[in-house]
Structures are given as structure tokens and as C-alpha cells.
Amino acid sequence: MTYMQCRRISHIYATQNADLYPEYGHKKLAQLFHGSIYYYHEKSGVKLSKAEASDIIKNETPCKQIYIDELNIYMKNPNKTNKINKSTNTIKSGNKSKITGIEDLPRE
């Protein structure tokens, strides 16, 4: 999935779920959904393909509960987010780190 596809999907989901989060305007809610989509797929290690993203955009598929759950987790504690460490390419969640790709494995 490209950045622009994720952006478009997040705007679709923000429109669909505006009544769940009335305290946020459309732009802010779209940003929150964008982060939810990104972090869900970073944590799970399973990326959306460009074809899947295109299908979501074309059909305006209803928002998956996993993205709403990810957003709710963030909203419960926005200061304790999953940060990606650019130097090691790992996701830090509390005290744990997770390797995000084979290129991150130690070499002998």
C-alpha cells in the first residue's frame, strides 16, 4: 500500500466513523486513522497490498474493527505509543522491541 492509498483509506474511515468520535474534526480523525492503519500493520508484520488497498478505496469498504481497536488503544494512553526506532528499525512498545525485517537480524 502506498502512502497516498493509506491517506485516502484513512479519510474514508474518518467519514464512516465520524459519529464514533464527535470530538474530532474530519482532518484530525483521518490523521488518527492513518496512524492506526500504519501501526496495526507494523505491529502485525502483515502489510496491505496495493491491490487490497485499491479495492478498499474503490468499494469504500467499511472500516475493519481492528483499526478502530488500534485507535481506541492509542486514545486510552496517547503518551505511551508504539514508536519506531529509525536507527535499529524496530518498534518499541513499552520495554519490548520487535524486529521488523530479516535485514534486522544479527549477523555473524
The secondary structure of the chain, three-state, reads: CCHHHHHHHHHHHHHHCCCCCCCCCHHHHHHHHHHHHHHHHHHHCCCCCHHHHHHHHHHCCCCCHHHHHHHHHHHHCCCCCCEEECCCCEEEECCEEEECCHHHCCCC
At residue 106, the pLDDT reads: 65
pTM tops 0.85:
no
CA-nearest of 47, 72, 56 to 12 is: 56
Low pLDDT (below 70) residues in the chain: 79-108
Residue pLDDT, tens place only, 6-32: 999 999 999 999 999 999 999 999 999
